[in-house]
Amino acid sequence: MAAFSRTELSEGLRIALAALKANRMRTLLTTLGIFIGVIVVTVIISVIQGLNHYVSSEFSSLGANTMYVSKFPWIIRSWEEFLKYQGRKDITEKHYRLLVKNATLAEAVAPDLGTNRTVKYRTESLNNVYITGTTEAYLSCANTVPETGRFFSDSDVDLNRAVCVIGWEVKDKLFKGEDPIDRRVKIGGQPFTVVGVMEKRGNMFGQSMDATAYIPYTAFQKMYGSRRSLDIQIKAADPEKTDALVDQVTGIMRQARGLTPGKPDDFAINQQSQIMDVYNQMTRTLWIVLIGIGSISLLVGGIGIMNIMMVSVSERTREIGIRKAIGAKKRVILWQFLMESIVISGLGVTIGILISLGIALLIRAVSPIPVYISTYVLFLGVGFTLTIGLFFGIYPASKAARLDPIVALRYE
């Protein structure tokens, strides 16, 4: 096919626009299918991207290089599995001490006991404060520091002192501007001296990380009993060697638990990446389903365009005849009608993207998910436009181009 002249191209576009302008309502209705399809696809892509962003940023406070040795794995798929894990022997202080001594690839090893209790200061009280029993190594595992005062030391832990570090929200709600350092609070009825306040940590999955208090794990065990299973947080010294650390910890734990080779582990090593894997699996399914829905509505929209183009071609048979009689070649007529279908689908895609932008802004305003429409969605839009316009426009356009001018001129 010979190249188009610029006059031919611009005339094609001019005719297409004029024809669409003459049938405004029809054009708008035809674009409906396309723009709904575009909205579905772009909003889904943007929401999933936003969700990914949100989830991974929430998880980042868990620490990518920190693992958690516990009795239960984070992901339990059935009640039977739960019962099996329930029957495992507890993780104890003995294991913690062995890991501190032998896990040479670890930067920090911290015990982690937790429960919810009420914290009181004079007449003020705050319910459901998450109490963590741990050691100073917790700071490097959780990648946080006290804002004022200090964290309790290893000697506080060894001597089982009744000291605590309170979370930012606890300070805010109980002390109301008063300096909490060296004040006495009651945690679950027991008196503790505040030695520090943690920096603000924000939320994780809607849970405040600031309505917390930290006490020496020895004190925790004294208060709530030493016969509960321990979690042990371990941070890799070198992020690159996280996997090697997992192997080392597994070895130490298996030996301590007296497992002979071939027996399965009776403990879990939990990592952020495992939850990310499950999350990714879930969103993958979501992707497929919703992209399916989007594609179907685009297909329906495309068929709508094809239909209206067939109408347009038959309505304008006479016009095609006139144009051919005075010298329009096949490709000129083809281009004219292709242009029309591309403009319709372009209009649909544009409206779709604009509405999607609005929806994205709305979601961002009312939810914590940072939805945004990335530039590649716009490129995708241009791609869609051309594909749909060309694919569904080519048949009606070539029908127009092949019309016999004599027959077309006689058409009433």
Binding footprint of another protein on the chain (CB under 8 A):
5, 7-8, 11, 18, 22, 318-319, 321-332, 405-406, 409
Q: What are the helix (H) ranges across 23-152?
A: 24-60, 79-86, 93-102, 138-142
Least spacing, CB of residue 8 vs another protein, in Å: 7
**Alpha-carbon dihedral angle through residues 245, 249, 255, 257, given to the nearest 10 degrees:** -160
- Would you say 8 or 266 has its CB closer to another protein? 8
Cα 3 to Cα 7, 20, 33, 332, distances in angstroms = 12, 26, 33, 11
Nearest Cα residue to 76 out of 274, 280, 286: 274
- Would you say 7 or 285 has its CB closer to another protein? 7
User: Helix or strand or coil: residue 379?
Assistant: helix
- Would you say 290 or 339 has its CB closer to another protein? 339
DSSP 72: S
Least spacing, CB of residue 25 vs another protein, in Å: 17
Least spacing, CB of residue 7 vs another protein, in Å: 5
Least spacing, CB of residue 318 vs another protein, in Å: 7
Encode 250-273: b = buried (16+ Cβ within 10 Å), e = exposed: eebbbebeeeeeeeeebbbbbbbe
User: Helix or strand or coil: residue 268?
Assistant: strand
Output the CA angle 88-130-132, nearest 5 degrees.
Answer: 60
* Tokens, residue 118: 């009420």
Least spacing, CB of residue 24 vs another protein, in Å: 14
- Would you say 147 or 319 has its CB closer to another protein? 319
Least spacing, CB of residue 30 vs another protein, in Å: 19
- Would you say 217 or 335 has its CB closer to another protein? 335
Least spacing, CB of residue 332 vs another protein, in Å: 7
238/33 Cα distance (integer angstroms): 53
- Would you say 126 or 403 has its CB closer to another protein? 403
329/335 Cα distance (integer angstroms): 10
Least spacing, CB of residue 347 vs another protein, in Å: 19
- Would you say 2 or 365 has its CB closer to another protein? 2
386/345 Cα distance (integer angstroms): 8
Cα 158 to Cα 134, 135, 210, distances in angstroms = 11, 10, 26
Least spacing, CB of residue 321 vs another protein, in Å: 8
Q: What values do phi and psi take at 163, rounded to 5?
A: -120, 155
135/233 Cα distance (integer angstroms): 11
- Would you say 161 or 323 has its CB closer to another protein? 323
- Would you say 258 or 327 has its CB closer to another protein? 327
